[in-house]
Structure 1
Amino acid sequence: MNTPVSQTARPSTRAALLGGAFSITLPVFFGYIAIGIPFGLMLVNAGYPWWLSPIMSMLMYAGAGQYVAVGLFAARVPLPAMVLAMLMVNIRHIVYGLSLMERFKTVGRWKPYLIFSLTDETYALLTGITPPPSVAPGPFYGTIALLNQLYWITGSLIGALAGAIIPFSFNGVDFALTALFVVLLMDQLRRGGNGIPALIGGSCSIVALILVGPGNMLIASLAGAIAVLSLLRGVRQ
């Protein structure tokens, strides 16, 4: 008598897990399609084959880092400089990972993939939600991260195919990534999130732009934001 109940419960639980994760990631779906398409277009416009776009999105999956990589490839930047630039662009993920160490202790076999797939948007979702009582944290967080990557792969593939077939103007497409960050910030604030880190990050970016210029502002703004946030944390403790 127990076997049929168990067999019917599993698909039901999986369907509920997938449906819940999809509803949570729906804003990222629209955002990743919107910014994935320009990435695919830019890659093809730089002279690379369309199939490189989904492969990069599967194996690299770095969002802003992939946009930067296209420019570095086109400029034939040496590999050591390219690695350093990518590290600087994605160095914030170290902070993301440190803040999720406690939460990832309960995710089981999903942990390696969650570490690999931790993007800005996935981090924003994982820190703003709690798994339902009937769902284990690992599958819940993992499904969210997996759906987000599938959205990104789909968007970049659509853009690459469109760029290979249809002539396209690239004016303004690079603003898509900035627009997504703004939307995610507004959504997080609407859910009751703390807006102080965002305010500090924005202020440090403006100060860095004024003091060191656009060419060096990334490292300066990140260092400033980390220093201010660490100082505030020390004062609170």
Structure 2
Amino acid sequence: MKKTAAPLKALKAAFPHTIPIFAGFWFLGLTYGIYMRASGFSFWYPMLMSLTIFAGSIEFVTVNLLMSAFNPVQALAMTLMINARHLFYGISMLDKFRSCGWKKPYLIFGMCDESFSINYTADIPEDVDKGWFMFFVTLLNHLYWFSGSTLGGIFGSLLTFNTKGLDFVMTAMFVVIFLEQWLKEKNHSSALLGLGLSLLCLIAFGADRFMIPSMLAVLGVLTLLRKPLEKGGEPA
């Protein structure tokens, strides 16, 4: 009984934290599945990709990659460019994942923006196993995305509305993530620096080549200004 009590208690504690993610992931997942079907792919594609990739932005980009000429170098560069933030997520979670045992590989694989946000900031009750809590947060979010994408892929062929512009949901997703972080942070210096540097790189390198320079610029400047920014974020 004790072996099953700990996971069950952790599941009950984790589930309420993931309810807002459920609404967002299901809508985005359905949209992704429909977008894949509208692009000419079978429902197997969004189903398997949401299960094995589990990175919403990359999955949307993969639609264009699958429809264009085979270019593995471009695919690798695009993936690293879009998901570079996960490097910092991983560093932040090193101590939290250290004692998770067999759950650690899955926690690393399934760490998306939303799972990271919950697992890093959640006030986990003392009588709840932290490893199991983080595992269920990650698993539930994964299931939400997988089920939404699969249903979108299955029923997407039955929908007859005009799907032009549906891929804009990816841009909207990043805007929402940015706004959520903006509302959570009291000090907006890092966000403003990121916007300013990205705009400068856009002007200097153009729309097709500004992404990598802007990410390198943001990384370099924020690294140099880390201590002043952390001091500025401390409560008075």
* Same fold at TM > 0.5: yes
* Greater than 3 Å deviation, 4+ residue runs: 9-16, 177-200, 234-237
Q: 1:198 aligns with which of 191, 194, 201?
A: 191
Q: 2:75 aligns with which of 71, 75, 82?
A: 82
2:90 corresponds to 1:94: no
Contact 2:201–2:214, Cα closer than 8 Å, also in 1: yes
Structure 1 residue 111: Cα displacement: 0.8
Contact 1:41–1:160, Cα closer than 8 Å, also in 2: yes
SS in 1 for 2:128: coil
In 1, distance between residues paired with 2:110 and 2:98?
16
2:222 corresponds to 1:229: yes
Aligned length: 230
In 2, distance between residues paired with 1:101 and 1:40?
33
Q: 2:18 aligns with which of 3, 12, 25?
A: 25
Contact 1:50–1:157, Cα closer than 8 Å, also in 2: yes
User: In the superposition, relative to structure 1, how do residues 131 and 197 fare at CA in structure 2: closer, same or farther (>3 Å)?
Assistant: farther
Q: 1:124 aligns with which of 84, 100, 117?
A: 117
Contact 2:22–2:141, Cα closer than 8 Å, also in 1: yes
Tell me what 1:138 maps to.
131
SS in 2 for 1:127: helix
User: Unaligned regions of 5+ residues in structure 2, if any?
Assistant: 232-236
Could you tell me the TM-score, scaled by structure 1's length?
A: 0.85
Structure 1 residue 126: Cα displacement: 2.1
Q: Percent identity?
A: 33
Structure 2: which amino acid aligns with 1:223?
A: L
Offset from partner CA, 1:117-165 (integer Å, 9 cap, x none): 1112222222221321111211111110111111110111121112222
Tell me what 1:105 maps to.
98
SS in 1 for 2:121: coil
Contact 2:33–2:43, Cα closer than 8 Å, also in 1: yes
Offset from partner CA, 1:62-94 (integer Å, 9 cap, x none): 210111111011112322322222222222211
Structure 1 residue 21: Cα displacement: 1.5
User: Unaligned regions of 5+ residues in structure 1, if any?
Assistant: 1-6
Q: CA RMSD in A?
A: 2.5
In 1, distance between residues paired with 2:137 and 2:188?
23
